[in-house]
Amino acid sequence: MCNMKGLESQIPIDNKSEGSILPHDVVESGEEWLKESRSFCHVPVLVEEIVFWLLQANPSLIVDCTVGYGGHAEALLRCSPPTMRLVGLDRDLQAIRYAKERLAEFGDRVVLKWGDYRDLKRHLAEMNVSRVGGVLFDLGVSSPQLDDPRRGFSFRADGPLDMRMDQTTGRTAAAVVNEESESVLADIIYQYGEERYARRIARAIVRARERKTIQTTSELASIIVRAVPSVYRHGRIHCATRTFQALRIAVNRELEGLDAVLHDAVDVLALGGRMGVISFHSIEDRIVKRTFRSLAQGPGACLSVLTPKPIIPLAGECQANPRARSAKLRVVERKRERTTS
């Protein structure tokens, strides 16, 4: 049985049965996880589904390519035999530091590395790892990142327009909104945010920055609110949501190389191994779906798609964790070696 007891030992962000996993075990452990995690800043999405789909393959090594604050990693480690090991990657140094504390009790079963998942093969080669039994990608932004005003991901509280996952390098969102042309801003907002008023918003940003450099999240949100029609300001989601999403994707190059790293992950996946990808918006999900389909069809097919339709959170999880509502999980299994034409 999967034992999820002991989560009360987690450290709050501001300053833990062997054998195959059966569906009822996973449902029980997932419900327990959600109940015990509500008081903490980070609740992983679709955790019981991840445990069920990835551990069915009995992997000896799993790579969590977006380990973040360690929620999925902890669940996988708790529900697996003590011989299973996990490698966690993340380019957010703050998240790596938190995950290190959270997963410390698992000792040498865990190796955490600060780095970009697009360098997956290099990271594994540095550890002399050629094949793994499971791979996980959670492409969302975690609650601690969203809720920390200093990170600049959200307009809910005022903070600097940063939005970088890796705060040691790269352009900030402030640099993008103050330096890019109106046409480039409109393209970013439309393509990455699927925002219908992208051109109006881009035009308003350019006009506002002519008067004063845009530096904070509240300044940008106010510009967006004034730019869109009044009826659009009171929709199901805040009218600035799509623009903030688009800027975050652009700043972190989130879609750049996603299909390539999925191919890399397949290359290191052992026969019978499984890969799960959680996406949070339609652009990501389309890339994942297309990539998996291309590797599961034709004479060179090497994957079996285990989830023809994406798995979405149940109503209870969405109620406990509203940010889970847009999550979609797709899972594949490695069936044979890849062949190239």
Q: Both 17 and 121 in a single domain?
A: yes
pLDDT, residue 322, reads 87
Last residue of a domain, one of 202, 223, 252: 252
Domain boundary among 252, 286, 304: 252
Query: For 91-110, what is the mean pLDDT?
Result: 95
Mean pLDDT, rounded, of the chain: 87
State the pLDDT at residue 16. 27
Quote the CA–CA distance of 192 and 254 in Å, as a whole number: 10
- DSSP result, 74-99: HHHHHTS-TT-EEEEEES-HHHHHHH
Kindly state whether residue 172 falls inside one of the protein's structural domains: yes
Read off the CATH number of the domain in which 201 is found: 1.10.150.170
Distance CA 155, CA 221 (A): 6
Helix (H, G, I), strand (E, B) or coil at 194: coil
> Band of the pLDDT at 340, cuts 50, 70, 90?
low
Q: Same structural domain for residues 128 and 169?
A: no
The Cα–Cα gap between 62 and 41 comes to 25
Residue 315 located in a structural domain: yes
Domain count, the chain: 2
Residues 13 and 124 grouped into a single domain: yes
In a domain, 339, yes or no: no
Two tokens at 238? 């805040």
CA distance 285 to 290: 8
CB of 310 closer than 8 Å to CB of 274: no
Task: Let me know if residue 72 belongs to a domain.
Answer: yes
Question: Mean of the pLDDT values across residues 74-80?
Answer: 97
Using 50, 70 and 90 to split pLDDT, how confident is the model at 58?
very high
- pLDDT for 147 equals 82
Same domain, 185 and 221: yes
Give residue 109's domain range: 7-139+255-334
Note whether residue 107 is domain-resident. Answer: yes
Q: Within a 10 A sphere around the Cβ of 210, how many other Cβ atoms?
A: 8
pLDDT value at residue 143: 79
CA 16 to chain centre: 21
Looking at per-residue confidence, does 35 or 313 come out higher?
313
Taking CA atoms, 70 is separated from 26, 45, 130, in Å, by 18, 12, 23
Q: What is the pLDDT of residue 339?
A: 67
Same domain, 111 and 73: yes
Does some domain include residue 340?
no
Average pLDDT over residues 129-136: 97
pLDDT at 37: 41
Give Cα separations from 328 to 171, 215, 310, 312, 324 (angstroms): 29, 33, 6, 5, 9
15-43 mean pLDDT: 39
Is 144 domain-assigned? no
- Tens digit of each residue's pLDDT (9 = 90 or more) over 292-325: 999 999 888 999 999 999 999 999 999 998 889 9
Q: Has residue 15 been placed in a domain?
A: yes
**Residue 114: strand pairing partners:** 90
The stretches of the chain forming alpha helices (DSSP H) are: 23-37, 47-55, 71-78, 93-102, 120-126, 143-147, 173-179, 182-193, 198-211, 217-227, 241-252, 258-268, 282-296, 315-320
CB atoms within 10 A of CB 244: 24
- CA distances to 120, 121, 122, 240 from 127, in Å: 11, 10, 9, 43
SS3 277: strand
Report d(CA 68, CA 94) in Å as an integer.
9
Contact predicate 203/188, CB 8 Å: no
Above pLDDT 70, what percent of the chain? Answer: 87
Whether 127 and 30 map to the same domain: the answer is: yes
My answer on whether 112 and 178 are in the same domain is no
Which pair of tokens denotes residue 15?
């300053």
Cα dihedral 125→134→262→306 (10° resolution): 160
Contact assessment for residue 123 and residue 99, using Cβ atoms and an 8 Å cutoff: no
Q: Which residues is 328 bridged to in the sheet?
A: 279
**pLDDT at position 34:** 37
Same domain, 182 and 73: no
One domain, residues 287 and 262: yes
Task: Say which CATH number the domain at 134 has.
Answer: 3.40.50.150
Take residue 199 and report the two structure tokens written for it: 């051109």
Global pTM?
Answer: 0.83
Q: Note the pLDDT tens digit of each residue in 210-242.
A: 999 999 999 999 999 999 999 899 888 899 999
DSSP letter assigned to residue 149? G
State whether 112 and 89 are in the same domain.
yes
Query: Which residues on neighbouring strands pair with residue 89, listed in sequence order?
Result: 113
Last residue of a domain, one of 204, 229, 252: 252
Round to whole Å and give the CA distance between 301 and 338: 7
Is residue 70 domain-shared with residue 20, that is, in the same domain?
yes
Mean pLDDT for 81-105 is 96
CA–CA distance from 266 to each of 61, 73, 114, 135, 202 (Å)?
Answer: 14, 20, 21, 9, 39
Q: What is the pLDDT of residue 235?
A: 81
Whether the per-residue pLDDT at 92 is higher than 90: the answer is yes
Q: Are residues 219 and 86 in the same domain?
A: no
